[in-house]
Structure 1
Amino acid sequence: MAIPENLNKGDAPSLTLVHPTEAEKRIQFSLNGAEWSGALSLPAYLRREATLAQTALTRDGGITYWILVDTSLPGNPLDPKSGTRLPLASCETYRKKALVWQKGEVKEVICHGIGSVFCANHLRKRGYAQRMMMELGKALRTHQTEEGIECLFSVLFSDIGKEFYTRFGWEPFSSSHVSLPATSSHDTASLPTVRPLYAEDLEELCEIDVATTRRSLESRPKDSKTAVALLPNLETIQWFHAREDFVGMELHGKTPKIRGAMVGNEKDKRVWCYWTRMWYNQNPAEAKGNTLHILRLVIEDGSWEGPSSKSNGETTDHSHDAAIAALLAMAQREAETCKMERVEMWAPSPTAMAAVKKLDPSAKVIDRDTESIASLQWFPEHDGPVADKIDWIGNEKYGWC
């Protein structure tokens, strides 16, 4: 599409946020695909996005597309029937179920996760992305709340540092992870028996996880800070697996079968995790850059306290350390098989870190300050920043979009 010479800047009153037509979406996907296609060709990237738009999480309004347009341009009014409008900036939002705990009460709400914030190179430095985020923050307060379910917050994961999105209300929260190599020399014979999880195992486990998350919030002391939790439901986990299935088929001609791992057979005493593989290397024979992400780590009885301190300064490992180490060891083996460079787990608890140390004593928690920075905008009226007034529960990879 030709670029008009009389484009307005980002503060022009004629700029507005609208939902694109299919033709307008193709324009933006073709542009942002050049930067975000990863290991895929551009045509494959476009097919992947079309496929992901039809998952249980995203169909029937689960995903919403947004573009910023200038209504003063010839042929660029609000009515999309007038012709293809020029997208000045774009993004998409995912409708997610969430829980909010406040003053002893748990509410089920919706939350919008923001992804694919994009402004083409030739349109940058005009303030379009800034204007879009300002308008989006206002729009999401009431977007899809027609059924009477509140939207109290939205989230995004910044890959451009902490400053840009903070200016428009998305405050950075703690963002950390630990990384393990895909290959390990650790002797796992002493670890508990672990079994793989498959797609057919996930529905029951996700239901248990959601119920456990709710109970955990309901049991918070009444003087606790406000807490939010994105629900780790089946639809969310399946979206990640649909993503990896598509890329796995494109690169390797097959889809992964093992979706996670579990230790234990007795209900209420099991420990498990789900994972997803993300390929970034365009050479299917190379592992560099590819990552197996632990989507969600679950201790079914809810006992997450870490190693306890003794009076002499030493620590006693929690009994779940060995179980989590067994899960991660299986993840390492899967990562090596699937041409992954590493295994990554977000927001590791002290218990999880004790497990990681069993496999790699040199492993350290990495605090992210440039990429995948978990950021949240709280919609209710408040005085000043809220990042220190809200607990983001389960800030793991499953919440990413």
Structure 2
Amino acid sequence: MSSPLPNLPSSTSPTLALAHPTPSELLSQCKRNGVAWRGALSLEAYLRREEVLSSQSLTKDGGITFWILIDTSETSSSRTVLAGCETYRKKALVAREGKVEDIISHGIGSVFCAPELRRRGYAARMMQELGRALEGWQTEKEGKECLFSVLYSDIGKEFYAAHGWEPFNSAHISVPASKNISISPSDLPTVRPLYEKDLEPLCQADESLVRASLSARPRTSNTAVALIPDIDTIRWHHAREDFVGQELHKKSPQIKGAMVGSEPGKRVWCYWTRMWYNNNPAESKGNTLHILRLVIEDEKLSDWEGSGTNHVNGAGSMKHEDSIAALLVMAWQQAKEWNMEEVEAWNPTSAMVNAARRLDPEAVVVDRDKESIASLRWFPKHEGCIAEKIDWIGNEKYGWC
């Protein structure tokens, strides 16, 4: 039998506050939320995966922070964890009034409240407290401002929006791996695979492109924000992929992306990650190969054009459609090899949409309204809808946490 609940405080009680869990509290919280979030893993493997992900270059040395909501009137030895979450420190850029600033941001994940504690307002109170805490969290240590934080809602748009995290574009297009594609690879540009060793210099080149794009924005443009797609972020995604691959298939994927072209400044490339949710290694349902990031090295293009409230970029990038289609073909091949149900790309440009439809003419752009809704809280005071005033650059899967 479960232990009876203590006398629970009101969610509006002044004695409620954020704290950092003890190791035993963190383990207990992981065991509870693992029931919902372990995906294809056993609970024991899920706990090991979380340890691995907490020791990556992105997350070590304070890169990840665990938070819980507690009643400070309780003793530390018997306190009840009312709700919990974790945050990831992320390098970010903000462009406004003709200037580009290096800042830190925080991505929020694993928001969890035990079933017996739900519908009491504890998760809402935690998010209220967290929003205030993150505005100054680690800023003194890093010597940089924190102007925004992000999260990816799996419970619709309303809850987090009520606490300051407004929903932004959350669209995707997918190509099923089970269907034969309607294009021959021989009709497309030559594509080569990318391996882990290839990614660090590519991420550095990508960051330079993002900075140049932001610097070129007119002073009168919307404020723009971007999570930097650095190698630490990408290695975190791949550590997750490698762990689950080993657990399910006794091997880790080696091909991490694909590239068309070889001359810097003229290449088109992407990298991806495989996410398994089906605990039967022989079944593909629910498994997805996500395109983490698509990069077009063309100084005449800016990946912010049309990014405000329009998820499909109508700017002139159609000349790269063949190259993107070639990348998608290799991704599709990898999806089939690793028992994925589909290949999915977030917030696709028009060129990505057209390329996907060359593989599958029935591919449609889906606007998500329930799961993985990209949401952003802007800390400076503002009036009106932030999603209409801020362009979120590179709002792709790499930013997810």
TM more than 0.5: yes
Amino acid at match of 1:360: D
Amino acid at match of 2:71: D
- Are residues 316 and 46 of structure 1, via their aligned partners in 2, closer, same or farther at CA, if it must alter by over 3 Å? closer
Corresponding residue number in structure 1 for 2:312:
none
Matches within 5 A, 1:165-204: 165-183=160-178, 184-186=180-182, 187-204=184-201
Amino acid at match of 2:24: A
Amino acid at match of 1:96: K
Corresponding residue number in structure 1 for 2:143:
148
Corresponding residue number in structure 2 for 1:32:
33
Shift of 1:283: 0.3
Q: Is the 8 A contact 1:305 1:351 kept in 2?
A: no
- For the residue of structure 2 that corresponds to 1:319, the secondary structure is helix
Structure 2 unaligned spans of 5+:
304-314
Amino acid at match of 1:70: D
Shift of 1:84: 5.3
Shift of 1:247: 0.3
- For the residue of structure 2 that corresponds to 1:161, the secondary structure is coil
- For the residue of structure 1 that corresponds to 2:204, the secondary structure is helix
**CA–CA distance in 1 between the matches of 2:125 and 2:232?**
32
Corresponding residue number in structure 1 for 2:326:
326
**CA–CA distance in 1 between the matches of 2:299 and 2:373?**
26
- For the residue of structure 1 that corresponds to 2:28, the secondary structure is helix
Q: CA RMSD in A?
A: 1.5
**CA–CA distance in 2 between the matches of 1:35 and 1:2?**
21
Corresponding residue number in structure 2 for 1:60:
61
Larger CA deviation: 297-306 vs 279-288 = 297-306
- For the residue of structure 2 that corresponds to 1:20, the secondary structure is coil
Q: Could you list the per-position Cα deviations for residues 176-224 of structure 1 after superposition, in whole angstroms to 9, with x for gaps in the alignment? A: 0000011433222100110000000001000000010000000001110
Structure 1 unaligned spans of 5+:
77-82, 307-314
Q: Is the 8 A contact 1:346 1:395 kept in 2?
A: yes
- Are residues 65 and 222 of structure 1, via their aligned partners in 2, closer, same or farther at CA, if it must alter by over 3 Å? same
**CA–CA distance in 2 between the matches of 1:204 and 1:342?**
28
- Are residues 371 and 327 of structure 1, via their aligned partners in 2, closer, same or farther at CA, if it must alter by over 3 Å? same
Q: Is the 8 A contact 1:24 1:84 kept in 2?
A: no
Shift of 1:267: 1.4
Corresponding residue number in structure 2 for 1:310:
none
Shift of 1:305: 7.5
Amino acid at match of 2:143: G
1:252 correspondence with 2:249: yes
Q: Is the 8 A contact 1:16 1:69 kept in 2?
A: yes
Corresponding residue number in structure 2 for 1:129:
123
- For the residue of structure 1 that corresponds to 2:67, the secondary structure is strand
TM-score of the superposed pair, with normalisation by structure 2: 0.94
Q: Is the 8 A contact 1:281 1:290 kept in 2?
A: yes
Corresponding residue number in structure 2 for 1:79:
none
Shift of 1:388: 0.5
1:23 correspondence with 2:24: yes
Shift of 1:271: 0.4
Shift of 1:3: 4.6
- For the residue of structure 1 that corresponds to 2:186, the secondary structure is coil
- For the residue of structure 1 that corresponds to 2:218, the secondary structure is coil
1:210 correspondence with 2:211: no
**CA–CA distance in 1 between the matches of 2:30 and 2:301?**
41
Shift of 1:302: 4.2
Shift of 1:85: 3.0
**CA–CA distance in 2 between the matches of 1:29 and 1:316?**
47
Amino acid at match of 1:395: N
- For the residue of structure 1 that corresponds to 2:139, the secondary structure is coil
**CA–CA distance in 2 between the matches of 1:317 and 1:214?**
19
**CA–CA distance in 2 between the matches of 1:101 and 1:254?**
42
Q: Could you list the per-position Cα deviations for residues 350-398 of structure 1 after superposition, in whole angstroms to 9, with x for gaps in the alignment? A: 1111211211122111111110000000001112321110000110000
Matches within 5 A, 1:211-250: 211-250=208-247
Equivalent of 2:295 in 270, 293, 298: 298
TM-score of the superposed pair, with normalisation by structure 1: 0.94
Equivalent of 2:132 in 121, 130, 138: 138
Amino acid at match of 2:47: L
- Are residues 10 and 317 of structure 1, via their aligned partners in 2, closer, same or farther at CA, if it must alter by over 3 Å? closer
Amino acid at match of 2:181: S
- Are residues 32 and 351 of structure 1, via their aligned partners in 2, closer, same or farther at CA, if it must alter by over 3 Å? same
**CA–CA distance in 2 between the matches of 1:251 and 1:167?**
39
Q: How many residues align?
A: 386
**CA–CA distance in 1 between the matches of 2:291 and 2:64?**
24
**CA–CA distance in 2 between the matches of 1:139 and 1:297?**
33
- Are residues 44 and 118 of structure 1, via their aligned partners in 2, closer, same or farther at CA, if it must alter by over 3 Å? same
Shift of 1:5: 3.0
- For the residue of structure 1 that corresponds to 2:110, the secondary structure is strand
1:12 correspondence with 2:13: yes
- For the residue of structure 2 that corresponds to 1:240, the secondary structure is helix
**CA–CA distance in 1 between the matches of 2:316 and 2:103?**
39
**CA–CA distance in 2 between the matches of 1:333 and 1:127?**
46
Q: Is the 8 A contact 1:94 1:113 kept in 2?
A: yes
Q: Is the 8 A contact 1:98 1:108 kept in 2?
A: yes
Give identity over the alignment, percent: 61
Shift of 1:2: 3.7
Q: Is the 8 A contact 1:295 1:396 kept in 2?
A: yes
- Are residues 152 and 114 of structure 1, via their aligned partners in 2, closer, same or farther at CA, if it must alter by over 3 Å? same
Corresponding residue number in structure 1 for 2:89:
95
- For the residue of structure 2 that corresponds to 1:116, the secondary structure is strand
